[in-house]
Amino acid sequence: FDPPPSAKAEYLRLLAEALHAVVQRLMQGGRVAEVGLPAREAVQVYRQAAGVSAGESVVELSAGLLSLSSWLADVPQPAEAVTAAQAAVDILHAIQPPPAAKAEYFSSLAEALHAVVQRLMQGGRVAEVGLPAREAVQVYRQAAGVSAGESVVELSAGLLSLSSWLADVPQPAEAVTAAQAAVDILHAIQPPPAAKAEYFSSLAEASHNLAKRLVQAGRPDEATHSTQEAAQAEQQAASLN
């Protein structure tokens, strides 16, 4: 079947979803040895679909690739999982979102880069995590800069998750960078009264995490301020609950 040009985007999207479903069903049926071929074709077709789709659709396609990557990681098929996550990053890199869509775009790109870091670690490719980890932190910061307060709190949680993954490798310097970014993006917002308790609770968690990462990185003298800030934020959160 060769779709007309006007229908190619929808056709390729549907084909990618169908291949994705084949991978899932094979796994659910215990036929893990057979997933490689449809998984690789799914990634290829997701890329083709992105190449003929508008920006909003590309963000949706990246989510499909991250879902595929997660399924492959659970088998585990670490190399295929990395390939799918990297494809999600690549198709997002290829578009320029309009101003109104920038918050969603940067959030999706940060999530995709975060997934690449996880998949590389799960595949034992620790030496390769530095570049996507640093870009993930940068993109989380960009996302926070164009997002509302509630979304910034969610982004800070993503950064703390990234920091935890990096600390486990260990990549102590990168773990500190991610935790510091979580604190910084929270410092940059003023929460409305109804959200203050959650905000201070998140700031306490981020500050505590930063102090922990600094100690793990052999920088205990720098952890004192973060420890104090964590205690203050915990008190403020408690007073609002």
Domain borders along the chain are 7-96, 128-241
- Tell me the pLDDT band of 54, cut-offs 50, 70 and 90: confident
Instruction: Kindly indicate the confidence band of residue 148, based on its pLDDT and cuts at 50, 70 and 90.
Output: confident
142 near 152, Cβ under 8 Å?
no
Size of the chain, expressed as the number of residues it contains: 241
Please give the mean pLDDT across all residues of the chain: 92
Position with higher pLDDT, 89 vs 195: 89
Distance, CA of 207 to chain centre: 21
Confirm if 186 and 156 have CB atoms less than 8 A apart: yes
Dist CA 204 CA 218 (whole Å)? 21
Q: Which of 38-42, 55-59, 197-201 has the highest mean pLDDT?
A: 38-42
CATH says 128-241 is which class? mainly alpha
Q: Which of 79-83, 185-189, 237-241 has the lowest mean pLDDT?
A: 237-241
Tokens 């992105």 belong to 50
Per-residue pLDDT tens for 207-225?
A: 999 999 999 999 999 999 9
